[in-house]
């Protein structure tokens, strides 16, 4: 499985799979850690992070708070 940390280049939710890839990770837990690092860096620069975790295998967003549940399901 591959999980990517992405930053949207459009406000259109239908284009989420086209968002710029910031990093690629083998586990959702690693992607979640990267998500939080990215969020902290964005806040230090004075703007909110719009990054999200994308499940490349299933083609969908993985809510950060559901990473543990996602891991337990597989």
At 73 the pLDDT is 53
Looking at every residue in the chain, the average pLDDT score rounds to 86
Q: Is the pLDDT of residue 67 over 90?
A: no
Interatomic CA distance for residues 60 and 3, integer angstroms: 10
pLDDT tens readout for residues 25-51: 999 999 999 999 999 999 999 988 889
Query: Cβ(35)–Cβ(5) under 8 Å?
Result: yes
What gap in Å lies between CA 74 and CA 69, rounded to an integer? 9
Considering all CA atoms of the chain, what is the largest pairwise distance in Å, rounded to the nearest integer? 37
Q: What is the reported pLDDT for 33? A: 94
Q: CA angle, corner 59, sides to 8 and 30, nearest 5?
A: 75
């Amino acid at each position: 499985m591959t999980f990517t940390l992405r930053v949207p280049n459009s406000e259109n939710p239908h284009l989420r799979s086209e968002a710029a890839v910031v990093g690629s990770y083998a586990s959702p837990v690693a992607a979640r850690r990267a998500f939080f690092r990215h969020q902290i860096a964005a806040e230090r620069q004075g703007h909110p992070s719009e990054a999200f975790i994308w499940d490349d295998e299933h083609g969908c967003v993985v809510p950060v708070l559901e990473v543990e549940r996602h891991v337990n399901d597989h």
